[in-house]
Amino acid sequence: MAAAAPRVSPRFFRRAQAHGFCVPDIPADVRAKCVAGTSTRVLDGRFVADALVAQCGALVAQKKGQGGRVPKLVVVLAGEDPASAVYVGNKEKMFAKAGFESETLKIASCDTTLEGLLSVVGELNARADVDGILVQLPLPAGIPAHVVLAAIDPRKDVDGFLKENMGLLALGDFSGALPCTPFGIMVLLAAHGIPLESKRAVVVGRSNIVGKPMSLLLLGEDSTVTVAHSRTTDLAALTREADIVIAAAGRPLLLGKEHVKAGAVVVDVGMHRKSDGKLCGDVDATFETGVAGKASALTPVPGGVGPMTIAMLLVNTAAAAWSKPLS
């Protein structure tokens, strides 16, 4: 029997592949999982993120054997935003599971100044043991995030937010750090075998963190991309044209059944706490008024995009660490 041809990674995954990662395979039972009572497939992000965590563990053991370093992230958490505290806690847990190092510097709102943050970032830039720096957003009111982010050494920009990395992406060059949420969505779609070439994609939201880089990554895979935003008129008419809808508006339950065509793939980036304490996304995922039963596939909230974002932070931190010459 002929040997299987080596798998070729999509362009956006080449940097990760160069450091030993591959897009995880999904077993048939996970691939076939559907939203209860419907034919809408669940795009399970937890499974794919866990597979990437396992790859990190294996790679770190291999690199250590070759004299390579254990990747280390430092998160700067300024202020008391409760959602940020949960995200940072999840990052710490996933880094520990992957066998990577992480440290969180907590700064109370009342102690947060622009000068103080710039000095912290300067120290982290200079530390040889730190591979990645993540300044958790949002920052306390009055602190200009763009000024703080711009102070990070681009080689340690594991968020992929700096002009040096975002600029490469805008030029169709995927060799820099890619922003973790859209990067994670691309890996999730690839792992679940969702074709993108020549498909019509509508990205709802134009943020620098998700919407803009998402549109560039989809363009890189030859989708036909439209970006909708808060001033878009007749959103439903636009999203109903889409084969792939990326909901990243930051508005709870913005998109319902009337916003998608039958068979569309729907990715929900939102994560909101409802008044009853339950979590929901930007998409109504119910059968009655939402996209379940109409979409062909949907990311769950939680367990879809969220774990993928952290998994790609691991990958970006590994790439930052393993791009350095051995010391």
Residues comprising the chain, all counted: 327
The phi, psi pair for 119, rounded to 5°, reads -70, -40
Is 34 in a helix, a strand, or coil?
strand
Which residue among 131, 157, 159, 284 is the active-site one? Answer: 159
Cβ 257 to ligand GUN shortest distance, Å: 28
Residue for token pair 């370093």: 69
Given a contact cutoff of 8 angstroms between Cβ atoms, the answer to whether 202 and 229 are in contact is no
Given a contact cutoff of 8 angstroms between Cβ atoms, the answer to whether 181 and 269 are in contact is yes
Separation CA 55–CA 10 (nearest Å):
18
Is 91 noted as a catalytic residue in this protein? yes
Is 173 noted as a catalytic residue in this protein? no
Cβ 302 to ligand GUN shortest distance, Å: 14
52 versus 180: smaller Cβ distance to ligand GUN: 180
43 versus 73: smaller Cβ distance to ligand GUN: 73
Cβ 159 to ligand GUN shortest distance, Å: 5
Cβ 291 to ligand GUN shortest distance, Å: 24
Residue for token pair 């999982």: 33
Is 136 noted as a catalytic residue in this protein? yes
Given a contact cutoff of 8 angstroms between Cβ atoms, the answer to whether 238 and 228 are in contact is yes
55 versus 136: smaller Cβ distance to ligand GUN: 136
Which residue among 131, 136, 268, 282 is the active-site one? Answer: 136
Q: What residue is closest to ligand GUN based on CB?
A: 137
Footprint on this chain of ligand GUN (rule: CB under 6 A) = 134-137, 159, 180-181, 209, 309
Residue for token pair 């957003």: 137
41 versus 212: smaller Cβ distance to ligand GUN: 212
Given a contact cutoff of 8 angstroms between Cβ atoms, the answer to whether 236 and 257 are in contact is no
Residues with a catalytic annotation lie at: 91, 136, 159
